[in-house]
Structures are given as structure tokens and as C-alpha cells.
Amino acid sequence: MKEKVEEALNKIRPMLQADGGNVDLVEVTPDGIVKLKLTGSCGCCPMSQMTLKMGIERLLKEEVPEVKEVVAI
């Protein structure tokens, strides 16, 4: 499942990088929790939680149905 998540994140990265940010995959737990670290501009952006939940989590759930939740660490 980690490989599927990484592939899906690669689809999102160009959009984040265009705004000076990025995302690193830290862990995918056996129960479907994806732990990410937002970096660059995304790490300190006040809208980062919205980006995480409404953008990244939504796309990951569509691409990888096993994903239950996405959390930032």
C-alpha cells in the first residue's frame, strides 16, 4: 500500500511545489492511516490543514481505497 500512496502523492507534488511546498511520506500504518510531513511553504502555511484534508486526503482515498485517514506530523 505504501507504493500506491507514494504514486498518488507524486500526482499532487507538482501543485504543492508550484507554491514552494512539498509533502514527505513518513508512514503508512497497517490500519490505513497515512502520516505525512508538509515541508517548505506548506509546513508553515495557515491553510495547510485544509490542503491536507480537502486536497491530499481526498485524492489519496480516491486513488488508494485502503486509506482511512491522512494526518500531518
| Measured distance CA(39)–CA(9) in Å, rounded | 14
Q: Choose among 3, 2, 6, 1: nearest CA to 56.
A: 6
Domains of the chain are 2-72 (3.30.300.130)
Query: What global pTM score does this model have?
Result: 0.89
Tell me the mean pLDDT in the region 46-63: 88
pLDDT digits (tens, 9 = 90+) for 2-48: 999 999 999 989 988 998 989 999 999 999 999 999 898 877 778 88
The pLDDT score that the predictor gives to residue 43 is 77
